[in-house]
């Protein structure tokens, strides 16, 4: 089995640096796993490590694609696998570095769950035009009949997901809920085999310390030329060499449009291009956009950690020991060398020479707590199969219908909502008003 190392973690935590340090110590080369850094140019908006800091370590799958092109996870999987073959044959350690978590997941595991969940058959759109003029409520009723598991999972008004499940039933002749059940059983029996013997370093920093660092980084990006890159992109949109995503919302999550910064500064550049705002107005808009970009960066970092804990760690646990995750604490940059670099090199050296490696939870207290499974974490299969809809016994919708909440999270949010608190208060008042009457009319037993 070929061996690879990987460095994952949130944006701005030092992944690129550790990647280079590992390569220098271990005869390795970097394979980029960041969906933005595959593009040529756009160095600032995509957070590319400056060439000089790469210290001569080759970086593959970086800086090679024209911004007009789209690059997806299947492309990455294919290109990275070729790269790993080549490096392995040259006795170089492939070090996969990047923040696009699902790239790394789909590289390491044969059948990532998300992929097998929506089996892709040959698309035959004409067959589905039958859905076009059907009311969502009727489609939902159809789904309830053929696939009660998925009907229970989806919101009755979520037309897109209802149609997707119906399509799977039409394509495979099997309800999607049934397919998920079979996958779950297979997973229980065989685990989820990994394609590579993998050593993953998760670089982690306490958000309290990380967030100011992320804010500073946004300011630095602006100082060093972020706006030039955004303007260059906008020019390309105007002259038609790149197309803005269409109506399809999912498209915003593809290509370079998902780079944090482009969307966030839209109102600033629109005002600038219209050329009819005072400079103090422009300043104000720029400030707002900067704040928006900082907030988006923090949210992204938070999502990346959630993804590692809720998706990656449970998958690692099913991998029959071929994948190991070590958390390294990068909260305090003053002790980077001892708490990150040296530890990583030591572990990776043992990994390469098949020596005994330390237990991941023994590395630090942070490691012990972050590597534990969150109590409410469930694998994707169980989450669908155990899905629950809740009916609030107190609240009624405006139409006087029962309030149905889809899933635990919605239910918990509902319990804290103003709507629910108002209904509860109202119910209490009604009860209080009724009590004297009831007490008066019911003869006391004593
Ligand atoms: Zn309620």
Ligand 1 mean position, distance from CA 434 (Å): 21
Of the candidates 389, 424, 420, the one whose C-alpha atom is nearest the C-alpha of residue 406 is 389
Give 150-156's long-range contacts (Cβ < 8 A, gap of 24+): 150/175, 150/176, 150/177, 150/384, 152/387, 152/389, 153/177, 153/384, 153/387, 154/406, 155/406
Which stretches within 275-407 are classed as H helix?
279-307, 313-317, 336, 342-352, 365-370, 380-385
Structural domains in the chain plus CATH codes: 3-110+192-370 (3.40.50.300), 115-190 (1.10.20.140), 388-441 (3.30.160.60)
Q: Give the integer Cα–Cα distance in Å for 404 and 389.
A: 7
Buried b (16+ CB within 10 A) or exposed e, 87-118: beeeebbbbbbbbbbbbbbbbbbeebbebebe
Query: 248: buried, middle or exposed (CB in 10 Å: 19+, 13-18, 0-12)?
Result: exposed
Ligand 1 mean position, distance from CA 321 (Å): 45
Ligand 1 mean position, distance from CA 393 (Å): 7
Ligand 1 mean position, distance from CA 395 (Å): 4
pLDDT value for 400:
87
Which residues is 95 bridged to in the sheet? Answer: 5, 30
Ligand 1 mean position, distance from CA 267 (Å): 39
pLDDT value for 15:
96
What are the residue ranges in the chain where pLDDT is below 70?
110-128, 240-257, 374-378, 436-446
What is the tens place of the pLDDT at every residue in 76-109?
999 999 999 999 999 999 999 998 888 999 899 8
Ligand 1 mean position, distance from CA 73 (Å): 42
Bridging pattern class, strands 93-97 and 323-329: unpaired
Ligand 1 mean position, distance from CA 423 (Å): 7
Ligand 1 mean position, distance from CA 142 (Å): 29
pLDDT value for 250:
44
**Percentage helix, strand, coil for the chain under 3-state DSSP, each rounded to 5:** 55, 10, 30
Ligand 1 mean position, distance from CA 429 (Å): 16
What is the tens place of the pLDDT at every residue in 262-291?
889 999 999 998 988 899 999 999 999 999
């Amino acid at each position: 089995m070929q061996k690879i190392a990987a460095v994952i973690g949130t944006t701005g935590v030092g992944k690129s640096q550790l990647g280079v340090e590992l390569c220098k110590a271990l005869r390795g080369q970097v394979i980029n796993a960041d969906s933005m850094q595959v593009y040529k140019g756009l160095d600032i908006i995509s957070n590319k490590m400056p060439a000089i800091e790469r210290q001569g370590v080759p970086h593959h799958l970086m800086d090679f694609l024209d911004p007009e092109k789209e690059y997806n996870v299947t492309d990455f999987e294919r290109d990275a696998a070729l790269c790993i073959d080549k490096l392995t044959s040259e006795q170089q350690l492939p070090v996969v570095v990047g923040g696009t978590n699902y790239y790394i997941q789909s590289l390491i595991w044969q059948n990532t769950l998300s992929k097998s969940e929506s089996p892709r058959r040959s698309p035959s759109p004409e067959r589905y035009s039958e859905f076009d003029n059907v009311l969502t409520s009727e489609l939902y009723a159809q789904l309830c009949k053929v696939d009660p598991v998925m009907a229970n999972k989806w919101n009755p008004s979520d037309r897109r997901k209802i149609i997707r499940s119906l399509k799977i039933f039409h394509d495979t002749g099997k309800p999607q809920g049934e397919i998920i059940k079979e996958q779950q059983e297979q997973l229980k029996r065989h685990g989820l085999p990994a394609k590579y013997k993998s050593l993953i370093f998760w670089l982690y920093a306490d958000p309290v310390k990380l967030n100011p660092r992320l804010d500073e980084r946004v300011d630095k990006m602006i100082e060093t030329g972020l706006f030039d890159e955004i303007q260059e992109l906008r020019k390309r949109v105007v002259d038609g060499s790149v197309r803005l995503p269409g109506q399809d919302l999912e498209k915003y999550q593809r290509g370079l449009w998902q780079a944090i910064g482009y969307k966030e500064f839209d109102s600033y550049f629109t005002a600038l291009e219209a050329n009819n705002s005072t400079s103090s107005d422009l300043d104000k808009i720029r400030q707002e956009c900067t704040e928006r970009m900082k907030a988006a960066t923090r949210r992204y970092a938070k999502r990346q950690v959630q993804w590692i804990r809720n998706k990656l760690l449970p998958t690692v646990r099913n991998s029959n020991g071929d994948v190991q995750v070590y958390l390294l604490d990068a909260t305090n940059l003053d002790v980077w060398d001892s708490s990150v670099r040296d530890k990583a090199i030591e572990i990776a050296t043992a990994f390469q020479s098949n020596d005994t490696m330390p237990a991941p939870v023994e590395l630090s207290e942070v490691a012990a707590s972050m590597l534990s499974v969150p109590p409410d974490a469930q694998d994707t299969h169980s989450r669908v199969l155990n899905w629950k809809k809740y009916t609030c016994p107190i609240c009624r919708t405006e139409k006087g219908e029962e309030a149905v909440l889809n899933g635990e999270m919605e239910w918990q949010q509902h319990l804290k909502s103003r709507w629910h608190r108002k209904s509860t208060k109202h119910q209490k008042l009604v009860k209080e008003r009724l009590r004297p009457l009831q007490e008066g009319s019911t003869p006391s037993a004593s």
